[in-house]
Amino acid sequence: MRFWDSSAVMPLLLQQDATTRMEEEYRSGSLIAVWCLTRVEAWSAVCRVRRDGRIGSPEVRLARSRLQGLTASWVEVDDLRAVARRAQRLLELHSLKAADAMQLAAALILVLDRPERVPFVTLDGHLAEAAEREGFEIAGVLPG
């Protein structure tokens, strides 16, 4: 199992620089675990790209189909109260946005505070740094 944040899911939905690498991570056969709001964050990003005029209806339909396929097979951490409590602590320790703190909190809850058990897949440098400090092995491609 691997915990994926939204930044790592996006290249599976839309063609990006990191698409090939994230497809390799996905094909590794490990079960994907995510925060329960990852699908909303990912879809928000797809809609933003469409509003910016960088993709059209065919790409949106493909992204929707890919997201439906992913959500059918991934595991979601959905304990909102526990994630919120953990995220508050993480915000005091790390330079994170609220959504990123919830991603990391969900990952910690998933592994029962034993982060060495599950790789953390992200393309977000700040989130990767915080996850590594919490003890996770980072997988994925970090931005240059």
Q: What is the pLDDT of residue 140?
A: 79
pLDDT surpassing 60 at residue 102: yes
Domain-located, residue 28: yes
pLDDT surpassing 60 at residue 144: no
* Overall pTM surpassing 0.75 (yes/no): yes
Domain that holds residue 105: 2-139
Q: Which one, of 87, 74, 63, lies nearest residue 36 by Cα?
A: 74
CA distance 12 to 1: 17
Domain-located, residue 39: yes
Q: How confident is the model at residue 142 (pLDDT cuts 50, 70, 90)?
A: low
The CATH number of whichever domain residue 57 belongs to comes to: 3.40.50.1010
CA distance 125 to 1: 21
